[in-house]
Amino acid sequence: MSKALILDFGGVVTRTLFETHDLSEAALGLAPGTLIWRGPFDPDNDPLWRDMQADRISERDYWMKRTREVGALVGKDWTKMADFVRAARGGDPDAVIRPEFREAVAAARAAGVRLAILSNELDLFYGADFRDKLPFLADFDVIVDATYTNILKPDPRAYRACLDELGLPAGDCVFVDDQLRNIEGAQAVGLQTVHFNVRQPRESYAAALELLGIAEGSTP
């Protein structure tokens, strides 16, 4: 029986921008310690993040605010999240890919599990050319990006579009996302889920592999 691992992109596949402030500061020519917002790593000191978690603003609103703030620090009038990401990560995007992601995908492929990405803003945040710098994306059977569909998780249609492309029932798929609202949306359409903890990526991927019946570390 076919199964699939469906992943969010930002935060699940890549280290978050919160985790890579040192790399961003170096790439942008900012002094170390300039960027102090830490999102889930220090929510008490990031009121904008708390607003997003409480649904007072959207995730896109959060990142657009940060984009404008950082752009102002470097004298740029950035109007798109991709402007920020290209400047901060464009030189070597491969450097921010989680090693735990690579290991989990290798194990899933070895077990014959299909792979999909379901993102609200893959190309919106990263830019379409970002994909060309990440050859592992060719291993994915399906990529559904709301940059183009305009159907954002947790809308049930987003998950169903991915399942339709995979040709699999929800119960045979495991969905991984770092935002609780998106996990709840996935559960509502019958997907097995793992709420990804960006502070414990290895444990999160291990949980996903376990749901797929794959032993941790079972790579070729």
Distance separating alpha carbons of residues 46 and 14, to the nearest angstrom? 21
- How high is the pLDDT of residue 94? 81
- φ and ψ of 134, to 5 deg: -125, 85
In this predicted structure, the answer to whether residue 63 has a pLDDT above a threshold of 90 is yes
Pick among 3.40.50.1220, 2.40.110.10, 3.40.1160.10, 3.40.50.1000: CATH of 4-15+96-211: 3.40.50.1000
For 97-135, write each residue's pLDDT tens digit. 999 999 999 999 999 999 999 999 888 877 777 778 788
Both tokens assigned to 99: 């090693």
For 169-220, what is each residue's pLDDT tens digit?
A: 999 999 999 999 999 999 999 999 999 999 999 999 999 999 999 976 554 4
CB 208 within 8 A of CB 194: yes
Predicted local confidence at residue 146, as pLDDT? 94
- The dihedrals phi and psi of 33, each to the nearest 5 degrees, come to 90, 5
CA distances from 138 to 7, 102, 195 (A): 15, 13, 25
Q: Where in the chain is the domain with CATH 3.40.50.1000?
A: 4-15+96-211
Q: How far is CA 69 from CA 26, 34, 66, 77, in A?
A: 17, 11, 5, 9
Q: How far is CA 199 from the centre of its chain?
A: 14
pTM above threshold 0.75: yes
Q: Give the chain's mean pLDDT.
A: 93
Is pLDDT at 91 greater than 90 in this prediction? no
Who contacts 151 (Cβ-Cβ below 8 Å, separation ≥6)? 157, 158, 161
Closest of 88, 98, 106, 69 to residue 178, by C-alpha = 98
